[in-house]
Chain A
Amino acid sequence: DAKTTQPNSMESNEEEPVHLPCNHSTISGTDYIHWYRQLPSQGPEYVIHGLTSNVNNRMASLAIAEDRKSSTLILHRATLRDAAVYYCIHYMDSNYQLIWGAGTKLIIKP
Chain B
Amino acid sequence: GAGVSQTPSNKVTEKGKYVELRCDPISGHTALYWYRQSLGQGPEFLIYFQGTGAADDSGLPNDRFFAVRPEGSVSTLKIQRTERGDSAVYLCASSSNRAGTGELFFGEGSRLTVL
Contact = CB atoms under 8 A, between A and B. Distances in A.
Interface of A: 32, 34, 36, 41-46, 49, 87, 91-93, 95-103
A98 B97 CA distance: 14
Contact of A43 (B44, B91, B99, B100): B91
Contacts of B44: 100
Contacts of B104: 34, 36, 44, 46, 98
Interface string B20-53: 0000000000000101000011111100100000
A95 B91 contact: no
Interface of A: prevailing SS: strand
23 contacts: A34-B100, A41-B108, A43-B91, A43-B106, A43-B109, A46-B103, A46-B104, A46-B105, A49-B102, A91-B100, A93-B100, A95-B56, A95-B58, A97-B56, A97-B58, A97-B100, A98-B33, A98-B45, A98-B99, A100-B44, A100-B45, A101-B42, A102-B42
B56 A103 contact: no
Contacts of B43: 44, 87, 100
Secondary structure type dominating chain B contacts: loop
Interface residues of B, number: 27
Contacts of B56: 95-97
B105 A97 contact: no
Contacts of A41: 108
Contacts of A87: 42-43
* Closest A-B pairs by Cβ, 3 of them: A43-B106, A91-B100, A100-B42
A95 B48 CA distance: 10
